[in-house]
Structure 1
Amino acid sequence: MLTLISSRPDVSSELVNQHISDYAPALALSALGTLSGDVSYNSMTKTCTEHLHDWWKLSVASGPPTDSYESAYWYLLHLLESLEEHELLGNNFIQFKVTTTAQFLLGLGEHQKKMQGIRP
């Protein structure tokens, strides 16, 4: 039987925060690895799909993220999901956006105002 997300009890914010802190560095490393040629584009897209699949298992309602770190995670994930390989690897501006967001998620850079993502 299907259960609507709205009829399920709220998922604890601790569980959501743990999910983001576990998955964000892996996504960032996968994105940077793809840009440097160490990780294939297909492997990176598989990582994105796995992250979304595991998120949907939590049955968290869509909406605004709790902080700038989660917002940057969703921004990067949505950005990577929307790009074809030639767009990611052939556009310097997109590479800059991916790199700065990934570096922020790894604690190597600052949060930029444009890194605004929402939960799926």
Structure 2
Amino acid sequence: MITHLYQPSVFHRQNKRIQQFIFEQAPSFAMSTIATIEGDVPYHHLKNDAHECLAQWWDMKIADKDPIDDYEATFWQLLQYVIKLEDYQLLGDIYIKQKITNYAYYLLNLAPCPELTQIQRP
């Protein structure tokens, strides 16, 4: 039996799922982040949103760790910051607050792509 080495339908389907997930999650998470920074949404709600995003992502069982593009990489960078920072760091440190805001504004198409560090998907 002959096995195909290249399976574009599997790769294409996986990329579509990833793009759909990012398309659905990134803008709403960015809005929650900005609302938290501005004091309109409690910090613990943002943290819960981040954990919910991660749970949905892990349910997809994506093995590839490299983001497709800068938009996806920015989403993971923002999510990573929210997960690892405490409320006083996110809300009290002007440098971190500006960096996070830049990520969120980019995800909302309100600013250019911020400088990104190398990041992988969770």
Q: TM-score by structure 1 length?
A: 0.88
Structure 1 residue matching 2:41: 3-state secondary structure:
coil
Deviation of residue 78 (structure 1)?
Answer: 0.3
The equivalent residue for 1:65 is 67
Structure 2 residue matching 1:61: 3-state secondary structure:
coil
The equivalent residue for 2:37 is 35
Structure 2 residue matching 1:107: 3-state secondary structure:
coil
Instruction: Show structure 2 runs of 5+ residues with no match.
Output: 1-9
The equivalent residue for 2:23 is 21
What is the number of residues matched between the two proteins?
112
| CA contact 1:78–1:117 (8 Å) conserved in 2 | no
Ranges of 4+ aligned residues in structure 1 off by more than 6 Å: none
What per-residue deviation string (whole Å, max 9, x for no partner) do you get for residues 60-104 of structure 1?
114110000000000000011010001111100000011000000
Bigger CA radius of gyration: 2
The equivalent residue for 1:93 is 95
Identical pairs, percent:
34
Q: TM-score by structure 2 length?
A: 0.87
Rounded to whole Å, the distance in 1 between the matches of 2:64 and 2:88 is 30
For 2:94, the aligned partner's letter is N
Rounded to whole Å, the distance in 2 between the matches of 1:19 and 1:34 is 22
| CA contact 1:72–1:115 (8 Å) conserved in 2 | no
Deviation of residue 58 (structure 1)?
Answer: 0.3
| CA contact 1:28–1:105 (8 Å) conserved in 2 | yes
The equivalent residue for 1:52 is 54
RMSD of the TM alignment (CA)?
A: 1.4
Instruction: Show structure 1 runs of 5+ residues with no match.
Output: 1-8
Rounded to whole Å, the distance in 2 between the matches of 1:69 and 1:108 is 13
